[in-house]
Amino acid sequence: MPWHTLNTHTINLKAKLKIINIVGARPNYMKIAPLMRAYKDFDGIDALLLHTGQHYDLKMSDKFFDDLKMPVPDIFLNVGSDTHARQVAKIMTGFEDVCDKEKPDMIIVAGDVNSTMACALVACKKGIKIAHLEAGLRSFDRRMPEEINRVVTDSVADLLLTPSPDADENLVNEGVGIQKIFRVGNIMIDTLYEFLPAAQKSGILDALKIFPKSYALTTLHRPSNVDDVEVFVKILSTFNEIALKIPVVFPVHPRTQKIIEQNKLTYLLKNIIITEPLGYLDFMRLMSESKFVITDSGGIQEETSVLKIPCITLRENTERPVTVTEGTNKMIGNDMEKLLHFASEAISGRWKMSKIPDLWDGKTAERVIEVLKRVL
Ligand code: UD1
């Protein structure tokens, strides 16, 4: 789909556009960091950075700000963890006050976490324009909280900045006017290309006493995999079988750690190399040198596709289908036979051909700025 002319009548014309950029949870930082840098070359924008505090542990937040050289947030809402309704409510009330004080012309939200949807809803009710980065992705599975967040955010957004053609199609099918849709590419890949050289200097492989291309890397935090103990035990047991053939490295998300402790499952981790959640550079180094990855994350499906690392995804569906059709991703749900099979394939170096999707080229932030310039 070509780039479209934005309907400038709907946007407040001013000398400088005041934009609040929102981060809240771990996957947001690598999507907003390239934009915060790109604004510096363009003085038409007064850009503020707001952190909701949805993620707050040093390893889930501050470490990423350091690794990605992000500015200290101008505004911090400090909401912390809670049930979804309470967390969203806290973000909304906090952000409403911010909007009243700062009077932004636009907010930019990224991805599909609770902070994304909560801030978009507030801005929409206040008549503040909303740009959604990573718009249009759909798993068509409303059991995922992220799917609800995606659908709601896109339905109120004014600028839908998409990473791939399937996202454009999803939006058009939902009745979004094509004048609002701009395919800019995958902004997270800007961060990957920028920081890969720095990641190569990480000492994480030495620290874990492992060697390039001689281990598997896994991450797991989705409710569908870790909340049902029977399913979780089955997955961890299979990891143990894989660990007989190749070392398995597992940085454990705080949510997953809690479930391990509550259910006394540490005995299933004896043969696995466990770490705390890692910062961006250490994790990127681990991922780029791994033989293959087993995950339920969204972003890792994309990053492995760009790095050409085989990826086995423990989910029934994906909102990122190009990682399957063009990238290195295989979806296997909770089928442990398939996990063992594809792990063996990856260990033997047999994997499908792949290509990097269009516009996943490290230049997405520049294209976003071009769109914003047109708005101005
Ligand atoms: C959130 C996102 C998910 C994303 C994931 C990446 C939503 C609905 N989900 O899930 O899409 O893939 O982030 O990490 O927004 N916790 C801590 N320390 C922290 C943050 C969380 O210990 O800094 C623990 C708390 O017990 C908390 C639990 O993790 O209750 C879940 O955190 P939450 O932000 O609600 O969701 P995630 O599972 O992290």
Average pLDDT of span 318-324: 98
* CA 179 to ligand 1 centroid distance, Å: 34
In this prediction, residue 375 carries a pLDDT of 77
State how far the Cα of 4 lies from the Cα of 182, in Å rounded to an integer: 7
Residue whose CB lies within 8 A of the most ligand 1 atoms, among 28, 54, 148, for a mutation test: 54
* CA 25 to ligand 1 centroid distance, Å: 7
pLDDT per residue as tens digits for the range 226-247 = 999 999 999 999 999 999 999 9
State how far the Cα of 65 lies from the Cα of 360, in Å rounded to an integer: 23
Q: In 3-state terms, what secondary structure has residue 127?
A: coil
Nearest residue (by CA) to ligand 1, atom 38, is: 255
Residue whose CB lies within 8 A of the most ligand 1 atoms, among 22, 56, 83, 113, for a mutation test: 113
Is-contact 352 329, C-beta < 8 A? no
State which ligand 1 atom lies nearest to the alpha carbon of 25: 13
Active site amino acids: 221
pLDDT bin (cut points 50, 70, 90) of residue 3 is very low
Q: Does ligand 1 come within 6 angstroms of the Cβ of 333?
A: no
Q: In what order do the strands lie in the sheet with 106-110?
A: 75-76, 45-51, 17-23, 106-110, 129-133, 159-162, 181-183
pLDDT bin (cut points 50, 70, 90) of residue 6 is very low
* CA 118 to ligand 1 centroid distance, Å: 15
| Share above pLDDT 70 across residues of the chain, in percent, rounded to a whole number | 96
Residue 249 β-bridge partners = 217, 273
In the predicted structure, residue 4 carries a pLDDT above the cut 60: no
Q: Which residue has the tokens 């800007």?
A: 190
* CA 342 to ligand 1 centroid distance, Å: 29
pLDDT per residue as tens digits for the range 276-311 = 999 999 999 999 999 999 999 999 999 999 999 999
* CA 255 to ligand 1 centroid distance, Å: 7
Nearest residue (by CA) to ligand 1, atom 19, is: 55
Average pLDDT of span 302-329: 98
In the predicted structure, residue 138 carries a pLDDT above the cut 60: yes
Residues 6+ away with beta carbon under 8 Å from 290 = 213, 215, 216, 217, 249, 309
Residues 6+ away with beta carbon under 8 Å from 139 = 146, 147, 317, 318, 319
Question: Is the four-CA dihedral 225, 226, 231, 232 of positive or negative sign?
Answer: positive
State how far the Cα of 53 lies from the Cα of 24, in Å rounded to an integer: 6
pLDDT per residue as tens digits for the range 202-224 = 999 999 999 999 999 999 999 99
Average pLDDT of span 21-34: 98
* CA 267 to ligand 1 centroid distance, Å: 24
In the predicted structure, residue 83 carries a pLDDT above the cut 80: yes
Q: Does ligand 1 come within 6 angstroms of the Cβ of 37?
A: no
Q: Does ligand 1 come within 6 angstroms of the Cβ of 276?
A: no
Q: Does ligand 1 come within 6 angstroms of the Cβ of 221?
A: yes
Q: Does ligand 1 come within 6 angstroms of the Cβ of 55?
A: yes
Residues 6+ away with beta carbon under 8 Å from 26 = 55, 60, 61, 64, 277
Q: Which helix (H) or strand (E) holds 239?
A: helix 229-243
Nearest residue (by CA) to ligand 1, atom 22, is: 254
Q: In 3-state terms, what secondary structure has residue 317?
A: coil
Nearest residue (by CA) to ligand 1, atom 18, is: 57
The whole-chain average pLDDT of the chain stands at 95
State which ligand 1 atom lies nearest to the alpha carbon of 298: 12
In the predicted structure, residue 9 carries a pLDDT above the cut 70: no
State which ligand 1 atom lies nearest to the alpha carbon of 297: 12
In this prediction, residue 376 carries a pLDDT of 67
In the predicted structure, residue 8 carries a pLDDT above the cut 80: no
Nearest residue (by CA) to ligand 1, atom 29, is: 255
pLDDT per residue as tens digits for the range 162-218 = 999 999 999 999 999 999 999 999 999 999 999 999 999 999 999 999 999 999 999
3-7, 101-105, 340-344: the lowest-pLDDT one? 3-7
In this prediction, residue 14 carries a pLDDT of 56
**Which amino acid belongs to residue 320?**
R
* CA 55 to ligand 1 centroid distance, Å: 6
pLDDT per residue as tens digits for the range 243-274 = 999 999 999 999 999 999 999 999 999 999 99
| Share above pLDDT 90 across residues of the chain, in percent, rounded to a whole number | 93
pLDDT, greater one: 37 or 41: 37
